[in-house]
Structure 1
Amino acid sequence: MPERRASGGSVARVLVDSPLPQLDQLFDYRVPERLRDAARRGVRVRVPLRSGGRIANGWLVELADSSEFEGRLAELEDVVSEVPMVTPEVWALARAAADRAAGNASDILRLAIPTRYVRVERAWLADAATPDPGPLPRREALPAIAGYAPGRVEQGIIEGERMSLPADPRPVRLPDGTWVGAWAATLALAAAHALADDRSSLLVVPDYRDQEQLEAALGAVVDPRRVLRTDARQAGGPRYRAFLEMTGDAARIIIGNRSTVYAPAARLGLIAMWDDGDALQQEPLAPGVHPRDAALIRQEQSGAALVFLAHSQSVEVHRLVELGWVRAIEPKGQTRPKAVVTEQQADEASGAARIPSAAWRAAQQALEQGPVLVQVARPGHSPLLVCDRCREPARCAACGGALVVPRGGGVARCTLCATAAGDWKCPVCEGAKLRAATVGASRTAEELGRAFPRAKVVLSDGERPVLRVGPEPALVVATRGAEPVAEGGYRAVLLLDGDRMLLRESLRVAEDCLRWWSNAAALAAPGSPVFLVGVGGALAQAFATWRQPEWAGEELQARRALRFPPAVRVATVTSSPERLDRALDAARAVEGVDVLGPTPAGEGLSRAIVRFDYARGAAVATTLRAETIRAATERRRPVAGRKAGRPPVLKVRFDDPDVP
């Protein structure tokens, strides 16, 4: 007889924690009597799978009195943890974000919820008294958010607006003497105003350098007990403890990197992202949902305010501003950096020649007053080479790797396979002469150290990061994104290798460069010169006049004419040629879809780009999702004498950042 109702009236609807697309749905299980008290919405559970008698982990998403399943329901195997981790808000976000990207909701939850530590969980449950989260700030005691019309941002937070804010491009001093970027003070005050209404905030930043500044700024306006971290640099135990605290009823300010946007939060009042265009904001794990998109979904679901803050507005946010979905807030009272665009000198044999005369003299004078920042394109010592005639990047004929001159000198060699390139010829103009396009940070530091023998030289890159430098004179050589914060700001900023940065093969190279330069320029003390070397045209003009939104608008128009993202959406589809053809035929059936490719992707696979308007996104996602399930569940016919073949791979990635 079909079972329409579980005994006791309880049916658990469970999401199995599995990457298999065919398991991305809620399965009904009967709750046995022994688990009635422990089985609550959002807890971790273990459930049996019919295939092979296996036991799988999962999440109890819903509890119901009846099931639509016509057969006999299997029972829950066990409740792993009695702490509800998946709140209704987080589940709704995970489901919507996964559907938009044709992915699995369990993959989203795996990003959102840290690894369980049993000892930490038991200690947290054993605390009889709830730790005091500290008092809420009083709105009348909070300073106004500077750089905009008085009360404009505060009112937008109260009303749940979606706002794009240009960050104030200067360093500021906190009451305890710590110097941070003004952007950190802006986000801290915005979160404090939300907290004053007993509402939580989610603050998403690219990496730990930004998080360190933001934590310092928050410490000046709110009780530190109200602030929780969640990021990959934390040890597992403290990170899990912080997550457990987030599930409570107290309003919190939660800060961290990409996955912070999925954190549980009581009475969410603000979602804010710093520098959404940074490459570190891209989510590399499946289904690859950008936190900006997840934030837009969560804002619409929750009604919280949403803030995008950056020195250089991303093209994606500018598109939302043009649509009227996000409101651009005009700056008021902000001072822009004193930017100077200079030509690069022809002779690049030494560090002195690499820096134009005007910038060199400014650096000499600035070193008498404080630190000077020199931004370079890449770390290391060896110079990166290009063709002397056409400036095409020099590549190894054997593997395509970049060519560099070894530290001890001699013949240029490949950075990947070490093959010598003594008979190199340019594939574009057939030139045979090489020249240095970029000198690494280490060699730049050595050259400048010889040129300024009395100056202290500080090197900061990915391997040797420096977060802060003092106000004393020093030459700070840093790769892009690794620039330390200087007390009082830099007395001069030299942005070298701009032409080399623009040689990178990417649709977003100009947007990235404008952001790198803008972020570095914002570290200068007010009125100090910022020199951009070797770059001209509209991009350099946008930087010099500090009109990044206007440039983003022009870039969006160009991409719209070419049907490039973000004017349209794209999805990359990778599979065997036969399986790929079937998936592409299904996608073409959706109105307004066009396909680029396919092209070889290695290992017998091919890849194609499916291009479509935003209005067709749901239909394309549903279609391609059905194809991934079909590919995962079909079986090839067995061949006599051979083992059964594996199902063909079909990989779908929406909004793929690797699309050139």
Structure 2
Amino acid sequence: MIVDSPLPQLDRLFDYAIPAELVDEARPGVRVKVPLRSAGRVLQGFIVDVGEEPDAERALAEIETVISAAQVLPARLHALARAIADRAAGSEIDVLRLAIPRRMVRAEKAWLGREGRDTPAVAAEALVRVEAELDAFPGLAARLAGEERVAFDAPPGATGGTPSWARLLAAAAATTLAGGRSSILAVPDHRDLTRLEEAVREVLPSEAVVRIDARQPGPERYANYLRTLEPTPCVVIGNRSAVLAPVADAGLVALWDDGDGLFEEPLAPYVHARDAALVRQRLEGGALVFCGHTRSSDVERLIGIGFVTEVLPARRVTPRVVLAAPQDSPNTARIPSAAFRTAREAIEHGPVLVQVARPGYAPTLVCAECRAPARCAPCGGPLFAPARGATPSCGWCGRSAHGWQCAQCASTRVRLASSGSERTADELGRAFPGVRVIVADGAHPVERVDDAPALVVATRGAEPWTPRGYRAVLLLDGERMLQAPDLRIGEACLRGWSNAAALASPDATIHLVGVTGPVARALATWTHPAYARAELAERAPVKMPPASRVARIEGDVPQMSDALARLRVDVPDLPDDAVLGPVPTDEIAGRKRVRALVRFDYARGADVARSLRASVVQAAVTSRSRRPRREENSGRTRSPANTLAVRLDVVDPEL
């Protein structure tokens, strides 16, 4: 069995004896409580397998109790979690925490007392519709049936009031379900999930659709997880954790927009949903699909080495994108005259989308005299204007900057250096009197807008859906977006702009303002794969991801030295320039911490992961073996915390 413990040294299977009174209940996959002799505690865990003990004289501790009769950890999920953890140098129980929701007793009792479920059927007319959808990509249906790994670029726009990409994934899932197998469709956020659910329910019966979403109430999410344990095929839709859904026979796993940062798991072992899907396809088979309006460099690398097959559309559809170069616009004009005219003409026929970089009113303030950034006197944080005429506030501590004075020139006046969504909406409201203005950002979420004339000012990724498409799209602040210190900022901007452009109606014009260079040309010509290939070529000489895998190690100086020395021994063919650093980061409890990056090719991945995991375990054992230290001003004792942390497949490495 596997115990639920955060200690890395306990990331292994343990043997326990089953008392006679629990023989009928202790089955593989159930939750149990067991004693842990070394700590004198009782832990929860899962039974992985049941067998006979060959050594009769071997003394085993006994299982204390079986928590539930529900077998929530099938063997297929155990194998998947183990493989993912090994790839990421993490613990299996951490993966299982992401996959298995918290137990809800009522939902579990209802599921245990359920009757048998009939296999859902796909209506004949729905099959005809989905076949027509898949025919837009010649050979796609055959490759899905052949359990291949494929990637394709979804056409922009909508058909029948639903995004084209959602209809394509729904069609693939319906075809798979008609063949008697389950599908898993994963999307980045709740907006995409809503669109996908609408498309799936158009072609499939409700009982076949299972939604797994972190925004669901606990009982509903747990009940839906239990549904995926049944042998009856289904279609699972959800966010990144849906990739781990333990369906019995996964004939299809599909990821929409895999380049979105929301697919990166923020909890240990920090596995990207794309990597989890690749591991799952290797273990269980089935088709694997990567789909998006843009092509991530990670998927392009897989296509380049022949691991994933690119499927091209029968008819190429591209939006009309106009580039407004910086020199074509006066410094005082945020929106070029051509884009302004387009918006004025389009607003008469329906909504117009204006994408901006930042939320709020004025996210950045500077001194009105010397243009130095305005900073908070107590904490040094950046000042921003929450509204027109409002007192500046600090973005870090939240204090109001009454009586602010510039540290450089002693001026007391500030200047608005940037425009957020609210200020842009205020300015456009004056330029378009009588027109409805809608703000859509993190503080003002808007899911959908109707087809009536309106100006929709949205931040990147928060654009509302409109059934007939926007009549024009203005992409502002592009130059500011590209200035972010991020290895993948070009990819991120191209993805955000392309997703906004895909919301336009077929005859709409998209204006990209103030951006030139390769990323602007890729958007204007709609050649995202070429841009991804260029990004890969630039990163290969410096061994940056995804051309190479990168691991980040953080810890105390002695632990870091031991980990790097062990890595050189365990992986002797690691290049001399593989390690960058260590460099100092901070100090905790009087101990200096350092950070290092390890760059390695994919062939060495398993060896590097094993070595780093062994170092983490050794550091944890060493930390717990130290004598407990007494906290100041208290009678409690605590053991020194393990300070060695490892994260593999860092998307944006930084020292």
Provide the TM-score with structure 2 as the length reference.
Answer: 0.91
* Per-residue deviation, 1:258: 0.8
* Per-residue deviation, 1:52: 3.7
Aligned to 1:118: 105
Determine if the alignment matches structure 1 residue 130 to structure 2 residue 123. no
Contact 1:273–1:308, Cα closer than 8 Å, also in 2: yes
Q: Distance in 2 between matches of 1:245 and 1:439?
A: 48
* Per-residue deviation, 1:334: 3.5
Residue number among 543, 557, 560 corresponding to 1:563 in the alignment: 543
Q: Rate the CA distance shift 1:74–1:338 in 2: closer, same or farther, 3 A.
A: same
Q: In the alignment, residue 229 of structure 1 is paired with which amino acid?
A: R
Residue number among 65, 78, 83 corresponding to 2:52 in the alignment: 65
Q: In the alignment, residue 17 of structure 1 is paired with which amino acid?
A: D
Determine if the alignment matches structure 1 residue 75 to structure 2 residue 57. no
* Per-residue deviation, 1:339: 0.5
Determine if the alignment matches structure 1 residue 521 to structure 2 residue 501. yes
Determine if the alignment matches structure 1 residue 629 to structure 2 residue 617. yes
Determine if the alignment matches structure 1 residue 42 to structure 2 residue 29. yes
Q: Distance in 1 between matches of 2:598 and 2:54?
A: 38
Q: Distance in 1 between matches of 2:81 and 2:289?
A: 21
Contact 1:633–1:647, Cα closer than 8 Å, also in 2: no
Aligned to 1:360: 340
Q: Rate the CA distance shift 1:257–1:541 in 2: closer, same or farther, 3 A.
A: same
Determine if the alignment matches structure 1 residue 602 to structure 2 residue 590. no
Aligned to 1:464: 444
Aligned to 1:164: 151
Aligned pairs for 1:83-482 (under 5 A) are: 83-127=70-114, 129-132=115-118, 134-138=120-124, 140-144=127-131, 146=133, 151-173=138-160, 179-344=161-326, 353-385=333-365, 401-405=381-385, 407-409=387-389, 414-417=394-397, 422-423=405-406, 438-482=418-462
Contact 2:130–2:175, Cα closer than 8 Å, also in 1: no
Q: Distance in 1 between matches of 2:11 and 2:626?
A: 26
Q: Distance in 1 between matches of 2:140 and 2:374?
A: 49
Q: Rate the CA distance shift 1:637–1:168 in 2: closer, same or farther, 3 A.
A: closer
Contact 2:133–2:167, Cα closer than 8 Å, also in 1: no
Paired residue secondary structure (1:354):
coil
Q: Distance in 2 between matches of 1:437 and 1:250?
A: 58
* Per-residue deviation, 1:647: 5.1
Q: Deviations over 1:396-436 (max 9, x none)?
A: 7986644435635599764224568754669xxxxx99975
* Per-residue deviation, 1:161: 0.8
Aligned to 2:520: 540
Aligned pairs for 1:621-660 (under 5 A) are: 621-635=609-623, 638=627, 646=640, 648-657=642-651, 659-660=653-654
Q: Rate the CA distance shift 1:456–1:640 in 2: closer, same or farther, 3 A.
A: closer
Q: In the alignment, residue 60 of structure 2 is paired with which amino acid?
A: L
Aligned to 2:634: none
Unaligned runs of 5+ in 1: 1-13, 174-178, 427-431
Unaligned runs of 5+ in 2: 632-636
Contact 1:136–1:198, Cα closer than 8 Å, also in 2: no
Q: In the alignment, residue 477 of structure 2 is paired with which amino acid?
A: D
Paired residue secondary structure (1:471):
coil
Q: Distance in 2 between matches of 1:470 and 1:270?
A: 34
Greater alpha carbon shift after TM alignment, 59-68 vs 86-95 = 59-68
Structure 1 stretches of 4+ with a deviation exceeding 6 A read 386-398, 410-413, 432-435, 639-644
Q: Distance in 2 between matches of 1:475 and 1:310?
A: 26
Q: Distance in 2 between matches of 1:513 and 1:435?
A: 27
Q: Distance in 1 between matches of 2:55 and 2:469?
A: 65
Q: Rate the CA distance shift 1:647–1:116 in 2: closer, same or farther, 3 A.
A: closer
* Per-residue deviation, 1:659: 2.2
Q: In the alignment, residue 623 of structure 1 is paired with which amino acid?
A: S
* Per-residue deviation, 1:180: 2.5
* Per-residue deviation, 1:375: 0.5
Q: Distance in 2 between matches of 1:360 and 1:114?
A: 50
Q: Distance in 1 between matches of 2:44 and 2:340?
A: 62
Q: Rate the CA distance shift 1:644–1:245 in 2: closer, same or farther, 3 A.
A: closer
Paired residue secondary structure (1:81):
coil
Q: Distance in 2 between matches of 1:475 and 1:412?
A: 27
Q: Deviations over 1:476-524 (max 9, x none)?
A: 1111101011121000000011011111111011110000000000000
Q: Rate the CA distance shift 1:396–1:515 in 2: closer, same or farther, 3 A.
A: farther
* Per-residue deviation, 1:233: 0.7
Paired residue secondary structure (2:173):
helix
Q: In the alignment, residue 581 of structure 2 is paired with which amino acid?
A: G
Q: In the alignment, residue 328 of structure 1 is paired with which amino acid?
A: E
* Per-residue deviation, 1:151: 4.9
Determine if the alignment matches structure 1 residue 584 to structure 2 residue 584. no
Residue number among 511, 519, 542 corresponding to 2:491 in the alignment: 511
Contact 1:145–1:151, Cα closer than 8 Å, also in 2: no
Contact 1:145–1:190, Cα closer than 8 Å, also in 2: no
Q: Rate the CA distance shift 1:326–1:508 in 2: closer, same or farther, 3 A.
A: same
Contact 1:575–1:651, Cα closer than 8 Å, also in 2: yes
Contact 2:133–2:171, Cα closer than 8 Å, also in 1: no
Aligned to 1:3: none
Contact 2:362–2:416, Cα closer than 8 Å, also in 1: no
* Per-residue deviation, 1:147: 7.3
Aligned to 1:9: none
Contact 1:414–1:421, Cα closer than 8 Å, also in 2: no
Q: Distance in 2 between matches of 1:557 and 1:202?
A: 32
Aligned to 1:612: 600
Q: Distance in 2 between matches of 1:42 and 1:390?
A: 67
Q: Deviations over 1:305-338 (max 9, x none)?
A: 0000010110100000001000111122232110
Q: In the alignment, residue 650 of structure 2 is paired with which amino acid?
A: D
Q: Distance in 1 between matches of 2:103 and 2:52?
A: 30
Q: Distance in 2 between matches of 1:391 and 1:530?
A: 33
* Per-residue deviation, 1:90: 1.1
Q: Distance in 2 between matches of 1:512 and 1:475?
A: 24
Q: Distance in 2 between matches of 1:550 and 1:637?
A: 55
Q: Rate the CA distance shift 1:505–1:29 in 2: closer, same or farther, 3 A.
A: same
* Per-residue deviation, 1:126: 2.0
* Per-residue deviation, 1:395: 7.1
Q: Deviations over 1:506-559 (max 9, x none)?
A: 101111000000000000000210000110011100110000110000000101
Q: CA RMSD in A?
A: 2.7
Contact 2:374–2:406, Cα closer than 8 Å, also in 1: no
% identical aligned pairs = 48
* Per-residue deviation, 1:137: 4.2
Aligned to 1:575: 555
Provide the TM-score with structure 1 as the length reference.
Answer: 0.90
Paired residue secondary structure (2:598):
strand
